[in-house]
Chain A
Amino acid sequence: MFRKILIANRGEIALRVTRTLREMGIRSVAVYTDVDRAALHVRKADEAARIESYLSIDAILEAARHHNADAIHPGYGFLSENPRFAKACEDAGITFIGPSSRSIALMGSKTEARRVAHEGGAPIVPSGEAAGFPVMLKAVAGGGGKGMRRVDREEDLAAAYESASSEALRAFGDGRVYAEKLIENARHIEIQIFGDKHGNLVHLGERECSVQRRHQKVIEESPSPVMALQPDLRERMGQAAIKAARAAGYYNAGTVEFLADNDGNFYFLEMNTRLQVEHPVTELVTGLDLVRLQIDIAAGAPLPFTQEQVGLRGAAIECRIYAEDPANNFFPSPGRIHQLAEPSGPGVRLDSGIYPGWVVPIDYDPMLSKLIAWADTREHAIERMLRALGEYHVGGIKTNIPLFQAILKDPAFRRGDLHTGYLDQLLKTGINFQTEPPAPYGEVAAFVAAKTAKPKPTAPSTPQLPSTWLTTGRAELMR
C-alpha cells in the first residue's frame, strides 16, 4: 500500500481526498498556487508544495518526487483526464490513481470513444450524414460544454461549425468538431463503473444529471426517477457501460454518460475517465467510499465485492454551490466570505473548500462546495435538502442557493419529470428569487438593524482596547 499520496488538485475535492487518506493512515501532500496559499485544502493536508499552476505536469511531478509521494490522485478537472500526465506518472514510477494513459487517450477522443463503445455493443447516437437536423455539434476533444452548438437548420451549420471549432481550439488546442443527432427532451443519465487491474468490472448504479445550465450539471441525484418507470433499465444501462469500459481495457473509477428517454431507450454519449464531481450521491446510496476504492485498486487490490453484492439504498441529491448571483444573470461573485454557517444534522453531507475569512479567488472555477442530502425516499431527500439549504448561510458573497430552493420546490422537479432542457425552461418562465418572507421577518430585520447600527462618530473616538485583566483571564481559560 502507498505511504504518501500527492493530490494534484485544489478546493473541496483536494480536501475530500485528504480525508480518506487520513482514514487510511496514508500521508497527504497538497499542492497550491500563490493565490491558494491560504486555501483550506493546504491547511488540512499533512504536507504541501507550492506550484506555478495546477496544469503544470513538470511542477507536480517535481513536487511528488521532492515529497517522496508514491502515488498521485488527480481529482477532477485540471490534469485528471490528460493522458500525457498519466503517462508521465507511469514513466516516473509514481502510481497514477486512475485508469491507464492508454484508456484515457482512447476515451478522451469523443469520436474514438463512440467507436469503442459501439464495438463493445453500447447503443450510440446517430452521427454525421445519418443524423438529420437538429444536430448537436461537439468538440472531439470536448468536455464541460465547450465547443458545443445546437444547429436546427442546414443553412446555420457553417456558422455554428466555425464558432464551435474556434471555441474548441481555444479550450482544448484541438478544433475538430463532429455532429451528432440532437435527442430532444432526453435525460442525462450516467453509470458509475469500477474496474480492477485483474479484469473485473462492476457498475454502481446511475446518477441522473439532467438539471443543467449551459451544458453544466447543477443538480445530480441517484437513483434516477425514470428507474421507477423502467425497472430493467438500470441493468441494461449498467451492462452497456461495462461493455464500453471493457472494450477500452478500463480499470479504476469511470463514468459512462448516456442520453435516455422515458421509454427505456438510451444512447452512449461519452466516458469520463476520472472521479466525478457528483460521486458523493453514489457513495451515499451504495455506502462505499469511492476514493478508498480507487486507492486500493491503484495499489493492485481486486474489487472487494461482486456485482450481486452491490446494493442501492434510499435516495441522494447533490447541489453544486457556486459563488454566483442567480438573480443577476448568474454573474460570478468572488470576494471575501465574512460569515459562514454550514448545514448539518441527519442525512446531510457537505464537501466544502471554504471557511469564514477565505477570499474566493477570481482565478478558478466558482464552485464553493457540494451539499448532498440522503434519505429513505426521493421525496424525503428533497425535503431534507431544502431544510439544509435553509441552514446554509454564506455572508459577503452571493451564491446560487436561492436557485436550488426554487428548483426543489418546482412541481416538475418534484415529479421527477426531467430532461436536459428542463432548467432553461424554468429560468425562461422567470423565477422570483425574492420570495415573500413570513410577516414578522421584515419587522425583526428592521428592529435588529436599528438596534445594532453603529452611529457615525461626530468626533474621533479613541479605540477601545480590551482591558489587560480581561485578556489574561480569557487566556487562562483557554489553556
Chain B
Amino acid sequence: MNLIETEPGLYSVLLDGASYEVRVLGNEVTVNGHRFEIAIEDPRQWKRRNGAAGTQGRISITAPMPGKVVRLMVSVGDAITAGQSVVVVEAMKMQNELKSPRDGHVTEVRVQQNDSVNAGAILVLIE
C-alpha cells in the first residue's frame, strides 16, 4: 500500500492500482466519502473498566450538543421512570427533550433553567 499525506489530515492511498482519498480526523476515517469509526487497540493502554454500563448504579443525563436549558422537569429526590422527560435543551431553534433511560431517583441536578451548556455536560444524575 502506497500512502502520502497531501495536506494535513488528507492522504492519497494507492492499492492494487486503485486510488483512494482518505481523511483522518480523530478516530474518524473517511475513505472516498465513506465514514469509519476507528478504535486503535494498544495493549499498553488496556485498563480495567470499573462498573458496568447497565441498569445498575448511577447514570447521568448529558447534553448531546451545546445549547440552552429551556425546561427542567425534575428536582432532587424525584422518583423517575424509564422514558420520562428530564430536561429540554434548545439549540439552533430546535428543542430536544432528554429522557431517562431507566427507573430511579434524581440524586443531583447540576443546571438551572436558562443555563448555557456544552456538549457532554452532565445535567442530571439518576441513581
Chain A residues with a Cβ under 8 A of chain B: 323, 330-335, 338-339, 341, 362-366, 390-391, 393, 395-396, 435, 437, 440-453, 455-456
Contacts and interface: CB of A to CB of B under 8 A. Distances in A.
Interface string B1-38: 10101000111010110101011110111111110101
B24 A448 contact: yes
B31, B36, B68 interface centre (most CB from chain A within 10 Å): B31
A445 B3 contact: no
B30 A393 contact: yes
A393 B23 contact: yes
A330 B40 CA distance: 29
Contact of A453 (B5, B28, B40): B40
Contacts of A442: 31, 36
Interface in B62-108: 64-68, 91-94, 96
A390 B33 contact: yes
A332 B65 contact: yes
A448 B29 contact: yes
Contacts of B31: 437, 441-442, 444-445, 448
B101 to A, nearest CB: 15
7 contacts: A335-B65, A366-B93, A390-B33, A395-B30, A444-B22, A447-B13, A448-B3
A447 B40 contact: no
Contact of B34 (A323, A366, A441, A447): A441
A323 B40 contact: no
B66 A339 contact: no
Contact of B42 (A363, A443, A455): A455
Contacts of A445: 22, 29, 31, 36, 38
Rank and list the top 5 A-B pairs by shortest CB-CB distance, nearest first.
A437-B34, A449-B38, A445-B36, A332-B92, A445-B29
Contacts of A443: 15
Interface of B: 1, 3, 5, 9-11, 13, 15-16, 18, 20, 22-25, 27-34, 36, 38, 40, 42, 45, 64-68, 91-94, 96, 119
A211 B94 CA distance: 20
A450 B40 contact: yes
A451 B11 CA distance: 11
A449 B65 contact: no
Nearest to B13: A444
A391 B33 CA distance: 7
B121 to A, nearest CB: 13
B20 A444 contact: yes
Contacts of B64: 331
Contacts of A444: 1, 13, 15, 20, 22, 31
A395 B25 CA distance: 7
Contacts of A363: 92
Contacts of B11: 448, 452
B40 A362 contact: no
Contact of A395 (B13, B18, B28): B28
A443 B30 CA distance: 12
B117 to A, nearest CB: 10
Contacts of B66: 334-335, 362
Contacts of A323: 92
A120 B33 CA distance: 51
B119 A339 contact: no
A453 B119 CA distance: 25
A365 B93 contact: yes
Nearest to A452: B24
Given A362-B65, A395-B25, A331 B96 contact: yes
Given A334-B66, A456-B42, A449 B33 contact: no
Given A323-B92, A334-B66, A445-B31, A440 B45 contact: no
A163 B29 CA distance: 45
Nearest to B96: A331
Contacts of B38: 445-446, 449
A417 to B, nearest CB: 27
A440 B20 CA distance: 10
B9, B18, B33, B94 interface centre (most CB from chain A within 10 Å): B33
A366 B94 CA distance: 10
A123 B9 CA distance: 57
Nearest to B33: A390
Contact of A393 (B33, B92, B119): B33
Contacts of B30: 393, 395
Contacts of B93: 364-366
Contacts of A365: 92-93
A187 B34 CA distance: 33
A231 to B, nearest CB: 39
Contacts of B25: 338-339, 395-396
Contact of B45 (A341, A446, A449, A456): A456
Given A331-B94, A332-B67, A332-B91, 11 more contacts: A331-B65, A333-B65, A363-B92, A395-B30, A437-B31, A440-B16, A444-B22, A446-B38, A449-B36, A450-B40, A452-B11
